[in-house]
Structure 1
């Protein structure tokens, strides 16, 4: 017993002898905390390294578990002179040293200027699991809106219905700073048009997202907004205008105040968006003997104007060294007015009409988020709570001139969305990590369309009130493991339970209709990565994921909506989700070259088709069938010379689709090619230019063929005000060749040609400027997509 007690005392003495620590904080000459400074504890006898660390968000450091001895500190940080302390002694009497505040002196400005120049980012950066587009280096962004920036990005395209495609796949989910916009179709397009391009920092393009993300969407486009990451008061502003047949204006200003344990941020954006649509179509109707029995020519011209004002406000609170709590608020008002005229001509008569509408659209959202780090090895817990509300309402007046009929449509829409998400990450050691999380969301979409005649009497057979409820419960688990220095593995499984209820309320002409769907799905994912060399310059990767595209909320509404004398729209309560199984192989050399091969298998493809009932045409969504796609992707980012950088992207794909629409079956096989290139030339003295072009061949998904499209853009930039400001000139769609054309052949005995022309040929001018202290980086992580997939489907 005595020996055990003696041994315990010896061990206790050894533990106490090593339980010594040094505590301190680092600031600059302005009394601002220096974040991320490197702190090294050195042995005074031989100047050998003992232990180290970095300063936290408050500039503090803590070095513990030290033995007795003589030490000194070395502290370094970019933009500052190296600091070296006097000798410090740790012994039995001095077990804990609390140092006075350490002040770092700034380095010479010439050194800082050299660092800024050498840190210039390329337009495209390739990472193993995503592609990063640095919008800040895209000269044309400042005089463009966000939708135009997306359309100029290699691999992204937008169709006539507002569906955003990534790498040839429709149904991409769009996130803003990791948070969903909860919109889709025309509403999402209008929202992206209201965001100035000068507000964007970068785009993250994820072809196959892991299990952590919502399973909805064929892929993810994460739009990262500019953030002022420096200590003190900083900010940036951007102002641009462009002119085609209509004027557009985009302005934004952002402020960031980072003081002590609170970081405040504020952004205000204003945009004026104007556009026109000149649409012509020719429809020929045949009988069963393929003899023409009717020809209908339609000419529709419409223009609109939208003046948007939005604001973002929030703060990050550092509750402790390990815990951060954040709050964010978003507000936007987007009133819109539009005016449309149509002429429908047949062999016997002509129908004319017009309509005018004014709609006020508002959105409010709040986000509360937290992050707690249990240790510095990646053990952490995070969460997000989101509350969102979208409201729109207004009046549209219709004048059917040929029929001498006047009526109006009073619109009201109210969408409430609530969701909560939490993620937990646990390091398992030996290069392994386990992630898990849950998400719960609730959506209620209340849409009321009331038609009245010129005496203000309700037209019940045209009016409808549709209410949509949705609840999705999801959970995931994801395992990552670095097997050795070259091989890494990631496997994930996500489960989603979906509950849908739709109600078309009764009136004097319409019977009550109700439908509901309940289903649970599993979405596995596998990712393998292998480095061919020790420097990790050459990499091979394999990826498999299962995804789902859910219909937009309003696509379930079964009511027939009036457009003009011949055209209507209608939802489809029988719609089912559209499932995708995606396989990818990729070779990557640094961020310079990527060659990818892929295979997609689709079941329940979603699409909108115009069907005929007599001489009336109804556009409605369908599950169109099954299909697969095989493709090759190629991306080359080359710095040819010091003054020339080039990007070349192309994709060649083969589609094989078997469709069944309204009882008509078809088997379609076709090839498509997408090509885009970007050339940036530096002339010195702050002058740079950019020339980019895009082209895609025709695409056919029975019964619609979309014809080939092309566009060319040119930009010029001059940096001013000591490189903190820039003046930019931009010319969009130089040859006005970005025109949407489609044809429908042999569907319900119809042949149709349709051409859409918009105000895409434009010239723009912009000014950007950044201000404030730029020495210190703000250590705040981006919010994850806590409010993800629901946003994509608001109409």
Structure 2
């Protein structure tokens, strides 16, 4: 007890020994102003001592200030500059809070003068990297998925519908802090349909703090959308690759007193063509033995997507109330043509020709309400409630011919070889989420955060395959699935943030999560899974500001990746007569411990991450069914995976018109697995690099060339060859604020080809050895887009974006 009291006394003494100045900057209606300039000046000669920008909440803090007499200057584009009264800091009066500084709009505006403060493309923060996508010429006309694909450390496998961060799966994707509870293919479809014109930034959080859900062993990707007050915008894009591309969006926001209302609509269309082919040898019992095969698939999807968002927030004294509705409808029609040739060791030869047509329709509606109250002493209480509703309907019709060299089908009357097949896949997901967060400064140097959360999920799914035999549709019992899943999850967290000195900040927290997941087969009443899991997830962040140019960061986090509902479900998806895709109800959750050491020096940043994953999940792995006569693609647990990675981001300014940025993530990886025919342990080196070159030219022109490359890596027992792309764009800012024109060319050298290799490191089921190159649309033709965008109205501070109660709920159908 004595030691504790002494430590607290020492903490207070250290805190009082350093001077700091803090406060907020806002509009007359109380709306905070982010990125306002706050300058600390000497009162004697107005010379600059320190400078800072306000954060998203309009708050600022200047630290490590010597004793003396000062004034503060507050400025923001379009508003009258304000000054504080002269004040004196001493060793006994070292902490000064100036409260709320209100800035008023200028009564006159200069005509045809546009001033823009460009933020750097990449910024290192305590929890990870921030990508300011508006600083890239290639943003306009791109989709959100294309922007993500160009972000450092992010790898998107379009063939497997997966996203990895720093070489690891288990990534949670959020939009404005709301988790996307969608399957992998649905999420990529949504991201492809979202316009990057509406993005403010992307947060790549490798070590999220305790207030976020512990879900996501590799971290979180948060896509933050632009939301402006008293402003509107329009954007139109047209393009062509293999086929046409188009998108259009409009947004409008208006402030009425203390109430802000906003709405936006986006439509996008993308008709494309991708293909894959396979060279394989394996044992195929249904065909009679060891087989060499050649297969090719041409896939032509046409996607039409509609997104509507609307909401409001109102300030009533110390309260802020708000709500929002987000609706998305996506219609993807797909035509697939497959051709395969099988050469069996018995001398038989088979040829498969299949024509597959399917439609994927899905709706999602997200409703949110929130209330916030500002408490005495700078505290805040937040309450949020959300309801999420998703439906998905995906019928498929298959017509195929599977004959030997004599025109005969394989022996027997197996329904798998019926010429006519049809599949159904329907799912409905409902999620209710409630959340309470409380924050209170305990002293000028100590802040408490705590909260509780509950989430309740119900998911029903129906899927199956039928074969036409003798004029009757016959259900294939082994492919049918009628499942209901119910999950209850409770969580509580607390964290303390202590300013140990003017240079040292410590944040420590712990989160406890308890969940129970029950999955039942409705037709047979069989229990698929009944799991209870309760765990503590600690976090620790230590920051030391060495000087004005550099600081050091140290963090530790523990996180989890639970199997998604699709991972656990026993559904069966038709692949071809010799293989199917299904879930794995025996999957275990992944537990990840991560230690990170980082340094920021001027605009450069470096970090080292060491992590251990127990039972990481790898999808699309090869195994055999219970009868041993059918190849099954399903998710599987590895035993462990260790990563030791080095990261760096290095911006270089050659001149006022030429800037460069280079990023690198890479290091040593090791994993062990035992679900293959022969267990294997593998160590290897892997890396990812990205670069951008920006040329700012006269007459408001700009040119950007950027690129990225992901080296060879392993996804479970599957080897993925390296791949990358180089992109280019030209932008023209029209005079008199008449908008922006942009031309972009994606994948200039046609190099986004993802090659998967099975049987490369160990013996697979059925002794499979195959090489499967997947070619995106841009390998056929570069994708060229022309965009026009324009903003109108008064650009003011960003509107209030509430932290939704469901911000951590939207990736379990399927997260990565």
| Distance across 1 between alignment mates of 2:768 and 2:74 | 76
Q: Structure 1 104/543 Cα, relative in aligned 2: closer, same or farther at 3 Å?
A: closer
**Residue in 2 aligned with 1:519?**
533
| Distance across 2 between alignment mates of 1:429 and 1:152 | 43
Q: CA deviation at 1:183?
A: 1.5
Matches within 5 A, 1:113-152: 113=113, 116-117=115-116, 119-152=117-150
Q: CA deviation at 1:465?
A: 1.0
Structure 2 residue 746 is the aligned partner of structure 1 residue 732: yes
Contact 2:274 2:300 in 1 (8 A): yes
Q: Structure 1 310/108 Cα, relative in aligned 2: closer, same or farther at 3 Å?
A: closer
Q: CA deviation at 1:735?
A: 0.9
Pick from 268, 292, 297 the counterpart of residue 265 of structure 2. 268
Matches within 5 A, 1:594-673: 594-608=605-619, 609-612=621-624, 616-662=630-676, 664-673=678-687
Secondary structure (helix, strand or coil) at the match of 1:192 reads helix
Pick from 255, 264, 276 the counterpart of residue 258 of structure 1. 255
Q: Structure 1 514/156 Cα, relative in aligned 2: closer, same or farther at 3 Å?
A: closer
Q: Structure 1 604/299 Cα, relative in aligned 2: closer, same or farther at 3 Å?
A: same
Cα deviation 1:524-548 (Å, max 9, x = unaligned): 0111110111x2x210110000011
Tell me which moved more, 483-492 or 636-645: 636-645
**Residue in 2 aligned with 1:399?**
399
Q: CA deviation at 1:452?
A: 4.0
Q: Structure 1 424/285 Cα, relative in aligned 2: closer, same or farther at 3 Å?
A: same
| Distance across 1 between alignment mates of 2:804 and 2:222 | 9
**Residue in 2 aligned with 1:424?**
438
Secondary structure (helix, strand or coil) at the match of 1:191 reads helix
| Distance across 1 between alignment mates of 2:474 and 2:507 | 59
Structure 2 residue 473 is the aligned partner of structure 1 residue 477: no
| Distance across 2 between alignment mates of 1:149 and 1:179 | 19
Q: CA deviation at 1:430?
A: 3.6
**Residue in 1 aligned with 2:215?**
216
Q: CA deviation at 1:107?
A: 4.9
| Distance across 2 between alignment mates of 1:670 and 1:76 | 52
Q: CA deviation at 1:212?
A: 0.6
Cα deviation 1:277-308 (Å, max 9, x = unaligned): 21111221279xxxx93212221111111111
Pick from 777, 781, 792 the counterpart of residue 771 of structure 1. 792
**Residue in 2 aligned with 1:675?**
689
Structure 2 residue 779 is the aligned partner of structure 1 residue 758: no
Secondary structure (helix, strand or coil) at the match of 1:372 reads strand
Cα-Cα RMSD: 3.0
Contact 1:353 1:401 in 2 (8 A): yes
Structure 2 residue 179 is the aligned partner of structure 1 residue 180: yes
| Distance across 1 between alignment mates of 2:599 and 2:590 | 29
| Distance across 2 between alignment mates of 1:719 and 1:587 | 37
Cα deviation 1:399-427 (Å, max 9, x = unaligned): 12224521322332111111111110010
Structure 2 residue 363 is the aligned partner of structure 1 residue 362: yes
| Distance across 2 between alignment mates of 1:108 and 1:469 | 58
TM-score, structure 2 as length reference = 0.82
Q: Larger radius of gyration, structure 1 or 2?
A: 1
Structure 2 residue 712 is the aligned partner of structure 1 residue 698: yes
Q: Structure 1 497/80 Cα, relative in aligned 2: closer, same or farther at 3 Å?
A: closer
| Distance across 1 between alignment mates of 2:613 and 2:106 | 61
**Residue in 1 aligned with 2:78?**
79
**Residue in 2 aligned with 1:789?**
808
| Distance across 2 between alignment mates of 1:729 and 1:81 | 37
Secondary structure (helix, strand or coil) at the match of 2:810 reads helix
Q: Structure 1 38/597 Cα, relative in aligned 2: closer, same or farther at 3 Å?
A: closer
Q: CA deviation at 1:363?
A: 1.0
**Residue in 2 aligned with 1:490?**
507
Q: CA deviation at 1:656?
A: 1.4
Contact 1:184 1:791 in 2 (8 A): no
Matches within 5 A, 1:293-312: 293-312=290-309
| Distance across 2 between alignment mates of 1:148 and 1:83 | 42
Secondary structure (helix, strand or coil) at the match of 1:787 reads coil
Secondary structure (helix, strand or coil) at the match of 1:332 reads strand
| Distance across 2 between alignment mates of 1:737 and 1:479 | 48
Q: CA deviation at 1:328?
A: 0.1
Contact 2:396 2:423 in 1 (8 A): yes
User: Aligned residue pairs: how many?
Assistant: 705
| Distance across 2 between alignment mates of 1:263 and 1:389 | 26
| Distance across 1 between alignment mates of 2:299 and 2:535 | 43
Secondary structure (helix, strand or coil) at the match of 2:304 reads strand
| Distance across 2 between alignment mates of 1:512 and 1:238 | 52
**Residue in 2 aligned with 1:350?**
351
| Distance across 1 between alignment mates of 2:280 and 2:189 | 29
Q: Structure 1 260/356 Cα, relative in aligned 2: closer, same or farther at 3 Å?
A: same
Matches within 5 A, 1:331-346: 331-346=327-342
| Distance across 1 between alignment mates of 2:642 and 2:106 | 62
**Residue in 1 aligned with 2:516?**
499
**Residue in 2 aligned with 1:433?**
447
Cα deviation 1:458-501 (Å, max 9, x = unaligned): 51513321222111111100110010011110101000001011
Contact 2:727 2:745 in 1 (8 A): yes
| Distance across 2 between alignment mates of 1:38 and 1:192 | 34
Contact 1:237 1:770 in 2 (8 A): yes
| Distance across 1 between alignment mates of 2:74 and 2:502 | 31
| Distance across 2 between alignment mates of 1:82 and 1:568 | 67
Tell me which moved more, 420-429 or 661-670: 661-670
| Distance across 2 between alignment mates of 1:547 and 1:785 | 21
| Distance across 2 between alignment mates of 1:186 and 1:79 | 44
Q: CA deviation at 1:619?
A: 0.4
| Distance across 2 between alignment mates of 1:772 and 1:463 | 55
Contact 1:686 1:723 in 2 (8 A): no
Structure 2 residue 475 is the aligned partner of structure 1 residue 459: yes
Contact 2:78 2:105 in 1 (8 A): no
| Distance across 2 between alignment mates of 1:374 and 1:299 | 64
Contact 2:740 2:790 in 1 (8 A): yes
Q: Following superposition, which runs of at least 4 residues in structure 1 exceed 6 angstroms of deviation?
A: 32-39, 74-77, 101-104
Q: Structure 1 544/102 Cα, relative in aligned 2: closer, same or farther at 3 Å?
A: closer
Structure 2 residue 541 is the aligned partner of structure 1 residue 541: no
